[in-house]
Amino acid sequence: MTPTLLIADDEALLARVLESELKSLWPEARIVSVVHDGVAALAAAREHQPRVAFLDIRMPGMSGMDVARELIEFDTPPLVVFVTAYDQFALEAFERAAVDYVLKPVQRERLEATVQRLKDRLAGPADDEDTESEASIADTDRLGQLLARLESLENATPGTSGAPQRQYLRFIKALVGQEVRIIPVDEVIYLEATDKYVNVVSGTGEALIRTSLRELTQQLDPERFWQVHRGTVVNITCVASAVNQSLGRLSLRLRDRPELLPVARQYAHLFKQM
């Protein structure tokens, strides 16, 4: 089967260089799309279902990391290679997660090694569906760990060693009818993004607040509130167990609520030992 490749880089010149080098190093592969922003990358991935996606991490609107989070949820996720100018700390995260990357400007020797690894991965035991499925789940687990690590690096503030301990949000104010409800953060079970609002689910009910999930999450203690899906953050103290679903997917069973919360593949590694 002909390998299919997607290239996404907001710098058109670098995208053309990468396209040219890939055509030279991997002539049997077919480049199905070259795009210059994250939204177009995701649309092209949905249309063409490439086997490999080369994603620039820094793209306007929707970053390569954002695109990768979406790709993980595909029934057959592509292998992802990040094109990056990240610093040494981030590169160490790539190495630990065993996820491939190509540094800017693209160096032919590094790209050649990357292409060989991709060829080896795509040439896996296609006659053994169970083994191939396990390898795919392992790929998405590694990518999920990397995305979580890079997100923590982005949220870290340089030079804060020895600084006073950060004070996190203690109460959430929500307008319910004609009254403002004060919800203690300790009582929040989970948060769910819905359009331009966040649904706050607590022990006393549900309430909508007009903010983004990202903005709200940045004010909460990350050791207690875990992102488990693109649109869901859960209070880990309210989780009773992680339930295995089909195709390696997980759901969370809550202590005092009947619903199950789905866990996106990129966050599944957080619950492997539960």
Question: What ranges in the chain are assigned the alpha helix state H?
Answer: 12-25, 38-48, 64-71, 88-97, 108-122, 129-155, 213-217
Sign of CA dihedral 255, 272, 145, 35: negative
Which residue in the block uniquely carries the two structure tokens 């990518």?
A: 143
pLDDT of amino acid 85: 73
Same domain, yes or no: 148 and 247: no
pLDDT of amino acid 130: 46
Q: What is the mean pLDDT of the chain?
A: 83
pLDDT of amino acid 65: 84
Beta bridge partners of 55: 8, 82
Q: Is 26 left (phi over 0), alpha (psi -120 to 50) or beta?
A: beta
Same domain, yes or no: 61 and 146: yes
Do the Cβ atoms of 183 and 192 come closer than 8 Å? no
The percent of the chain in helix, strand and coil, each rounded to the nearest 5, is: 40, 30, 30
Instruction: Say if 163 falls within a structural domain.
Output: no
Instruction: Say if 233 falls within a structural domain.
Output: yes
Q: Which of 146, 207, 270 minimizes the C-alpha distance to 216?
A: 207
pLDDT higher at 200 or 89 = 200
Do the Cβ atoms of 64 and 6 come closer than 8 Å? no
Same domain, yes or no: 181 and 267: yes
In this model, does residue 199 exceed pLDDT 60? yes
Give the predicted TM-score (pTM) of the model. 0.56
Instruction: Say if 165 falls within a structural domain.
Output: no
Which residue in the block uniquely carries the two structure tokens 């991935």?
A: 45
The residue-averaged pLDDT of 225-231 equals 92
Which residue in the block uniquely carries the two structure tokens 């103290």?
A: 237
Q: Which of 12, 179, 144, 1 minimizes the C-alpha distance to 68?
A: 144
Backbone angles phi, psi at 146, to 5 degrees: -65, -45
- Among the candidates 123, 155, 187, a domain finishes at 155
Same domain, yes or no: 218 and 129: no
Work out the number of other CB atoms within 10 angstroms of the CB of residue 82.
24
- Report the number of distinct structural domains present in the chain: 2
What would the pLDDT profile of 255-266 be if each residue is shown by its tens digit? 989 999 999 988
Tell me the C-alpha distance between 94 and 92, whole Å.
Answer: 5
- Among the candidates 122, 155, 188, a domain finishes at 155
In this model, does residue 6 exceed pLDDT 90? yes
Helix axes 64-71, 129-155, angle to 10 degrees: 150
Q: At 159, is the pLDDT very low, low, confident or very high (cuts 50, 70, 90)?
A: very low
Domain hosting 73: range is 4-155
Q: At 12, is the pLDDT very low, low, confident or very high (cuts 50, 70, 90)?
A: confident
What would the pLDDT profile of 117-155 be if each residue is shown by its tens digit? 999 989 875 545 544 555 555 666 777 777 776 666 566
